């Protein structure tokens, strides 16, 4: 290794990475899982000396937290769930406070390294762009990366991307909206994928009272954007075919209607609430069918993890990567009997397994792409 190579390598090791995240642990969900993997893997593989997560406060969690070895730092400084319309006027006041705090970010950012900014911060009017301009002037050694993970981001974000040193797209449907933006890196969603032992599966069935039962599984909670209204009608159609199949749903309840209430009272809809992520993957692997009918995901982590666990899957529409490889598994606009017939064919093997190459989403593969991005910037 030459002297210049050594200097470049040392600079990378000494640099810090910060991630501006809308939510983090103890919250749950795909976004939390994603940032957690980055925070674990990048310091471990020598991409940075410290990974700092800057996020919202959370009830019961400390404002500042650090790992024993100093490689991870969590700063919970923004108001909890700021700007959520369901939380009333106080939430909008919290959102105003969050924007004021953007202007103070400079105090907690490293002098050199990389700052990743989750694209959802630009979904609403914000002072973050103003703050980032000040940060760029005061921290010339800090590179800015916009991380886009929502395919329905506002069109104004495309113009904002020009002020970043690089932009990450996690899927083709996002990349298609970034034509004309320079230095776009299409880096796929990461998953913790693996097959489970029979002992693990048996324990999961017993834990949730599902031993000996056929069930459709959905790990996205109750949410109209995630297709809960269509899913309950689909499950009822399948049951009308004479199959005694239940519906098991893990996750938050953000939507509920009369169809869901009727199924719950009839005893074949089982809401589990929030459960450990490993249990979500276990139940997907055990399901008669794992069904994801979301219309809002760029590249759904749950479906990828279900595929990695060997599940039979009904996949959401609007994801080109799925449509290119296994279109027969992708939901279309059909409803009722036609969709039910296809779901049954997938679950019972008349339609073969989806052969999507989920291995390219594992950390060993994906983290190397993040490291290449970081090396290109520092």
pLDDT at 7: 39
Centre a 10 Å sphere on the Cβ of residue 102 and count the other Cβ atoms it contains. Answer: 20
Domain hosting 63: range is 3-189+362-377
Query: Could you tell me if 105 and 207 lie in one domain?
Result: no
Query: Could you tell me if 167 and 231 lie in one domain?
Result: no
Residues 126, 148: Cα–Cα separation, whole Å:
16
Query: Could you tell me if 92 and 236 lie in one domain?
Result: no
Residues 128, 143: Cα–Cα separation, whole Å:
15
Helix (H, G, I), strand (E, B) or coil at 9: helix
pLDDT at 256: 95
Query: Could you tell me if 69 and 177 lie in one domain?
Result: yes
pLDDT at 3: 43
Count of structural domains, the chain:
2
pLDDT, tens digit (0-9, with 9 covering 90-100), for 85-136 = 555 666 677 778 888 888 889 889 988 999 999 999 998 888 899 999 999 9
Centre a 10 Å sphere on the Cβ of residue 151 and count the other Cβ atoms it contains. Answer: 21
pLDDT at 343: 96
Query: Could you tell me if 142 and 214 lie in one domain?
Result: no
159 contacts: CB under 8 Å, gap ≥ 6: none
Partnered with residue 66 across adjacent β-strands are 73
pLDDT, tens digit (0-9, with 9 covering 90-100), for 246-271 = 999 999 999 999 999 999 999 999 99
211 contacts: CB under 8 Å, gap ≥ 6: 202, 205
Query: Could you tell me if 329 and 340 lie in one domain?
Result: yes
Query: Could you tell me if 294 and 305 lie in one domain?
Result: yes
Q: How far apart are the first and last CA of the chain?
A: 18
pLDDT at 83: 58
Burial class (CB in 10 A: 0-12, 13-18, 19+), 295: middle
pTM more than 0.85: yes
Query: Could you tell me if 145 and 212 lie in one domain?
Result: no
Query: Could you tell me if 60 and 202 lie in one domain?
Result: no
CA 334 to each of CA 215, 241, 325: distance values in angstroms, whole numbers, following the listed order: 22, 17, 20
Tell how far CA 345 is from the center of its chain: 29
pLDDT at 96: 81
pLDDT at 115: 97
Query: Could you tell me if 340 and 210 lie in one domain?
Result: yes
pLDDT at 151: 86
Query: Could you tell me if 129 and 238 lie in one domain?
Result: no
pLDDT at 4: 42
Residues of the chain where predicted confidence (pLDDT) is lower than 70: 1-15, 83-91, 334-336
The rounded radius of gyration (Å) of the Cα atoms in the chain is: 22
Q: Are 174 and 21 in contact (CB under 8 A)?
A: no
The CATH number covering residue 287 comes to 3.40.50.2000
Centre a 10 Å sphere on the Cβ of residue 134 and count the other Cβ atoms it contains. Answer: 13
pLDDT at 88: 62
Query: Could you tell me if 340 and 352 lie in one domain?
Result: yes
């Amino acid at each position: 290794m030459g002297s210049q190579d050594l200097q470049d390598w040392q600079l990378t090791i000494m640099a810090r990475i910060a991630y501006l995240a809308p939510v983090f642990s103890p919250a749950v969900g795909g976004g939390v899982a994603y940032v957690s993997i980055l925070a674990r893997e990048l310091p471990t593989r020598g991409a940075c000396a410290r990974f700092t997560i800057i996020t919202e406060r959370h009830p019961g969690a400390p404002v500042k937290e650090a790992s024993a070895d100093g490689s991870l730092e969590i700063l919970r400084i923004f108001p909890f769930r700021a700007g959520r319309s369901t939380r009333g006027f106080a939430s909008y006041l919290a959102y105003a406070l969050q924007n004021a705090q953007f202007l103070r970010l400079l105090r907690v950012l490293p002098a050199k390294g990389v700052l990743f900014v989750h694209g959802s911060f630009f979904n609403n009017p914000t002072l973050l762009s103003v703050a980032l301009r000040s940060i760029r002037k005061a921290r010339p050694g800090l590179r800015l990366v916009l991380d886009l993970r929502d395919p329905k981001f506002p069109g104004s974000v495309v113009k904002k991307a020009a002020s970043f040193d690089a932009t990450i797209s996690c899927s083709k449907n996002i990349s298609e909206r970034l034509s004309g933006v320079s230095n776009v890196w299409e880096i796929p969603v990461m998953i913790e994928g693996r097959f489970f032992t029979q002992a693990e599966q048996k324990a999961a069935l017993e834990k949730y009272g599902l031993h000996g039962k056929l069930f459709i599984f959905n790990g996205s909670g109750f949410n109209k954007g995630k297709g809960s209204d269509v899913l309950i009608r689909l499950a009822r159609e399948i049951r009308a075919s004479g199959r005694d199949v239940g519906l098991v749903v893990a996750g938050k309840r953000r939507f509920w209607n009369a169809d869901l209430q009727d199924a719950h009272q009839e005893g074949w809809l089982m809401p589990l609430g929030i459960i450990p992520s490993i249990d979500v993957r276990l139940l997907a692997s055990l399901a008669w069918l794992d069904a994801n009918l979301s219309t809002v995901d760029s590249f759904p982590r749950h479906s990828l993890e279900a595929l990695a666990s060997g599940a039979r899957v009904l996949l959401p529409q609007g994801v080109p990567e799925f449509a290119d490889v296994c279109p027969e598994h992708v939901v279309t606009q059909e409803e009722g009997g036609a969709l039910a017939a296809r779901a049954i064919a997938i679950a019972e093997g008349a339609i073969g397994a989806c052969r999507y190459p989920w291995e390219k989403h594992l950390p060993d593969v994906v983290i190397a792409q993040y490291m290449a991005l970081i090396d290109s910037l520092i």
